[in-house]
Structure 1
């Protein structure tokens, strides 16, 4: 029997990270994954921790509302937040089932100041990365984390660890 997982994104990196996280945490279970587009109800570039978490929650909830016949709904939202050290980049992952809501945050990292300044000026992080590094569509590939770590941590791996953490409450032994 397959369990249906709805991912509130059509971004291949987010879909792959969700698949990898579920397969790592539930090795003996079978899943069918579907990526869909739903609104986050926040800005295209969330500018705070709260707004980013709200975006992930809204995506998961809107996915559940649109496709109620699934076992899990996953929202992933990347965001930024300025603090005294500079501009942090991170993502929130929210997973819903009919019984539970769980969430986890990725690690944070600081953006180089030229990219942070573009984002402060209204450019979405993915577009700022593309512009600064002379790339295209990096947010559906390695993302800022992959570019800045020179491939040591790509965007899929970056999301995958947080996905595993968000799945902890859904393990049967918990």
Structure 2
């Protein structure tokens, strides 16, 4: 019995091409959570993820939802302006906000693509201990306050507040990764979003 001849199938070159994702930060946590999020969302695609030092155009420690969102948006927009050859640009900005005399922490994620589509998401929020909140209210950045309270060094490039406060149950990469995937919804379900 003869096997049918194989058709000469050309691979879809666009589907095979590695896509470049530029993160508006060189923080290794933000770069890694972006890579993980894109791989989980688009398992069949291949991505090269690079971080750039990009200005957020907001305070070093954004206070409130609006300023934090604006920082993430500016990081994505400025990454696009700095490296327009990429396929996606992403901004991740952590912020804090007062809530009933307590301080909450969270982050915004903004993703842009070549076609002008924008995806946005916000992480879950959590209450910071009073000792950290007091330091931030006094003008300290969350990462610095974490380092002081937990006697660490450069914790924002490691587990961050969420990792230290949950004894490593949730690390900062994992915390941001879910928000990256949520910000990718308009690209995953692209027929429903214009």
Q: TM-score with structure 1 length normalisation?
A: 0.98
- Give the structure 1 partner of residue 128 of structure 2: 111
1:4-153 map, 5 Å: 4-99=20-115, 100-153=117-170
- Give the structure 1 partner of residue 7 of structure 2: none
Report the alpha carbon displacement of residue 98 of structure 1 after superposing the two structures with TM: 2.1
Deviations 1:98-157 (A, max 9, x none): 220111000000000111000000000000000011110100000000000000000000
Query: Who wins on radius of gyration, i.e. which is larger?
Result: 2
Distance 1:145 1:5 in 2: 25
Distance 1:158 1:30 in 2: 23
Report the alpha carbon displacement of residue 173 of structure 1 after superposing the two structures with TM: 5.6
Query: Any stretches of 5+ residues in structure 2 without a counterpart?
Result: 1-16
Deviating 4+ runs (over 4 angstroms): none
- Over aligned residue pairs, what C-alpha RMSD do you find? 0.9
What is the number of residues matched between the two proteins? 174
- Give the structure 1 partner of residue 3 of structure 2: none
Q: TM-score with structure 2 length normalisation?
A: 0.88
Query: Any stretches of 5+ residues in structure 1 without a counterpart?
Result: none
